[in-house]
Amino acid sequence: MNRHLAAILFYDVVGYSQAIGVDEAATLGTLKANYTTVIQPLALHHQGRIVKEMGDGGFVEFASSMDAVRFAICMQIAIANSNLDRPEIQSLTYRIGINIGDVVADGNDVFGDGVIIASRLEGVAKAGGICVHQIVRDQLRGKLDLTFQDLGEVKLKNIDLPVRAHYILLDEKAKTVAVTPFENTLSPLRTSRMPRIMAAIVLTVLTLGSALWWHNSAPPVVVAAVERMTYPLPDKPSIAVLPFMNMSDERSQEHFADGLTEDLITDLSRISGLFVVARNSTFVYKNQSVNIVRVAEDLGVRFVLEGSVRRAGDQVRVNAQLIDATTGGHVWAERYDGPVADIFAIQDQFIRKIAKALAVELTIEELEEIALGKTEDLTAREEFQKGWENYLNYSAEHNALAIDQFKEALGLDPNYGRAYAALGLAYLRGCKLRWNGPLGISVGVANTTALNYLSETKKHPSSLANVAASRINLYNNLYDVAQREAVRAVAKDPNDPEGYVAMAWAMITTGQPDAGLELMDRATRLNPSYPSYYVLAIGMAHFSMGDFDSAATVFADALERDPDATELAAVLAVTYVQLGRLDDAHAALRKWKPEASQSELQAAPYRYHFPYNWSQGSEIENKIIDGLHLAALPPGDRLTDLTEKLRIATKTDRIRAARMLGLFGSQAADAVPALIEALDDDVKAVRIAVAIALGDIGPPAKAALPALAAISEEPLIGRRAQKAILKITGE
């Protein structure tokens, strides 16, 4: 990346949407003609680099403020002159903003506050006018004889301090500046009415004369390269939708802009002919200067959709452009100016046009799915958006706030399908993660409420409802139903990673962790910036397969990236226990409960609840709970403590002590006498756990062979004793 000082110029068509509505073909023709015969050659001549075209506007970088201002004046006068020779219906008017400041060049793109301020000044400019920063005005003193109109201190959106701004008046002084080096007396930029042929000749000469400079001086266009991409490029059109920039004067409109972005992602993701990156992974670029090439290479996509939203009262302007990052070209661009109430119809138009631009056919079924679960109530959509953002924050407090906002959305639109599904998911978290406290209800009531909202989704279907159905049914141990609902979720929304995560858990908990791991690969490809609960699924798939080394690596790496994901520290501790790394297990558990005393740490496993249950027996669940208890014991005293518990603890603790001693394997040789004694325990479940532990200790437990042989014919325990004998003798 290269940091340097540059003059930045933004230009934009005034009333573009209205012109498109009156005569689309004529407007697009004029737009193209202005770009190719005026803007592009003038930029070349004034040593400017066109960084981006944005539908009806653009962004140009210059080495000096003088070059930028000369270009701006030439452009405005040339456009005004060309409009004199066009019917009014074909005329377009532009406004321009210029700033100079420190910018960062990254590949073909330019970022920094200097860029943002220039874009905001463009919005301040009058139709056909130029607005510049005070710094530009100061740099031109004594160099260009121009008339400036001082606007005073201007407050610009998302800029902390006000900016001193000026208009440049396009008077006779300005016309003396608008001279080309090729023809000082017969410039189309100075003559009020010039025949079109002469204007075309001069502009052609200007273009050819500038071509040599462009060839020798312009930096090469940087485009995304498939070989540099983090992931292989999908075999169908792939797209990432970046958060639309909120250009409104009020920060409160962020929810509106984010809602528009999320709706576009949600709708595009239902098109089976597309690969669409999930919201989580594109919103990491929110409020950042975005390099399209880097986004494409980081996410492994060919196309990037970006845009902006400006809302004022009941009116809204939306700019959107689809860029092919591998060529730098624009595939599609559109601007909408009109009533906010029409925004949902505009979104639908955008989806259809994007699909058409990418040569993807929308099926009737996909169009129906796109319409499912939505609302036409703008306020309800905004309340849902606020709730969804809280839901994604993944904490008990945010979950409670999300529930209130989802309910507000339903109060405004009782048929809002996504709100019913979201409420089901939020209440499920209340019981599954024991986040019921802020809700003021019991775990059981939270589960019942989740089921009730799930029932409502049958009347108001959406793809989110199938994800909710899979997760809620899985929590209630209805494994077959959970799998079916996950399959439906993926079928309805093939680009929603949450459907694959739901299906993965349905597989992992039913003894198919290898299939679950494959599904998580698909989920993480769609959502490369995945949250910690994806890591839990990936790690537990490895754990369930007995691949504890891989599980430990997955959990440890995730904790290093995000130390706040403390829920992963508990399962990392359990995994270390399986590897015999007990000191590491204790250290990991300390990360789970960093403020706990030793006694509190040893009590914590009694209150631990893993969010999923396994269908086939309780072996995995026992490993989790036993591992937590063993990891909680202080280093150095573990064998002694467990041996004592075999004699004096409660039935439950005696069973757990025996199981945990088995985890030590041959290192528990000193506990063999106590285990032999425990084979005479009055509780059969204790005796079974002891027999299993002796087998896990192996050859060092040879002293237990006579006692095991004596019980080898007893019902239930006999089979366990026989297996233990085989392990100890190595047969």
Do 45 and 145 sit in the same domain of this protein?
Answer: yes
Do 109 and 234 sit in the same domain of this protein?
Answer: no
Residue 216, C-beta contacts closer than 8 angstroms, at least 6 positions apart? none
Do 59 and 174 sit in the same domain of this protein?
Answer: yes
State how far the Cα of 244 lies from the Cα of 70, in Å rounded to an integer. Answer: 32
Identify the sign of the CA torsion 427, 432, 436, 437: negative
Do 126 and 233 sit in the same domain of this protein?
Answer: no
Residue 591 lies in a domain: no
Pick the range with the lowest mean pLDDT from 284-288, 410-414, 540-544. 284-288
Q: Which residues pair with 133 in a beta bridge?
A: 165
Do 275 and 340 sit in the same domain of this protein?
Answer: yes
Residue 445 lies in a domain: no
pLDDT digits (tens, 9 = 90+) for 681-722: 989 999 999 999 999 899 999 999 999 999 999 988 999 999
Do 43 and 163 sit in the same domain of this protein?
Answer: yes
CATH of the domain at 112: 3.30.70.1230
State how far the Cα of 585 lies from the Cα of 552, in Å rounded to an integer. Answer: 10
Choosing from 318, 347, 371, the residue where a domain stops is 371
Do 175 and 249 sit in the same domain of this protein?
Answer: no
Choosing from 371, 401, 433, the residue where a domain stops is 371
Range of 704's domain? 636-729
Q: Are strands 303-312 and 238-241 parallel, antiparallel or unpaired?
A: parallel
State how far the Cα of 281 lies from the Cα of 159, in Å rounded to an integer. Answer: 26
Residue 558 lies in a domain: no
Q: Tell me: pLDDT of 212 over 50.
A: no
Q: Tell me: pLDDT of 418 over 90.
A: yes
pLDDT digits (tens, 9 = 90+) for 225-282: 999 999 999 999 999 999 998 877 677 788 889 999 999 999 999 999 999 999 999 9
The first and second tokens of residue 306, run together, are 């970006």
Do 181 and 289 sit in the same domain of this protein?
Answer: no
CA distances in angstroms from 139 to 122, 226, 269, 704, listed in the order given:
19, 43, 50, 93
Do 115 and 253 sit in the same domain of this protein?
Answer: no
pLDDT digits (tens, 9 = 90+) for 10-50: 999 998 878 887 888 888 888 888 888 889 888 888 888 89
Q: What are phi and psi of 64, to 5 degrees?
A: -145, 160
Do 272 and 140 sit in the same domain of this protein?
Answer: no
Q: Tell me: pLDDT of 368 over 50.
A: yes
Q: What is the mean pLDDT of the chain?
A: 87
CATH of the domain at 672: 1.25.10.10
Average pLDDT for 48-56:
84
Do 86 and 172 sit in the same domain of this protein?
Answer: yes
pLDDT for 90 equals 79
**Residues 228, 231, 232, 236, Cα dihedral to 10°:** -120
Average pLDDT for 351-363:
92
Picking from 326, 264, 334, the residue whose alpha carbon sits closest to that of residue 295 is 326
Residue 308 lies in a domain: yes
Choosing from 340, 371, 402, the residue where a domain stops is 371
pLDDT for 454 equals 95
Picking from 511, 499, 513, 519, the residue whose alpha carbon sits closest to that of residue 425 is 499
The first and second tokens of residue 281, run together, are 């992974």
Buried b (16+ CB within 10 A) or exposed e, 279-291: bbbbbebbeeebb
pLDDT digits (tens, 9 = 90+) for 629-646: 889 987 766 788 888 888
Residue 207 lies in a domain: yes
CA distances in angstroms from 563 to 269, 530, 569, listed in the order given:
31, 15, 9
Do 197 and 251 sit in the same domain of this protein?
Answer: no
Q: What is the pTM of this model?
A: 0.69
Number of structural domains (the chain) is 3
Residue 602 lies in a domain: no
Picking from 8, 11, 165, 148, the residue whose alpha carbon sits closest to that of residue 78 is 11
Residue 631 lies in a domain: no
Average pLDDT for 394-414:
95
Residue 582 lies in a domain: no
Helix axes 717-729, 684-697, angle to 10 degrees: 10
Picking from 149, 193, 145, the residue whose alpha carbon sits closest to that of residue 173 is 145
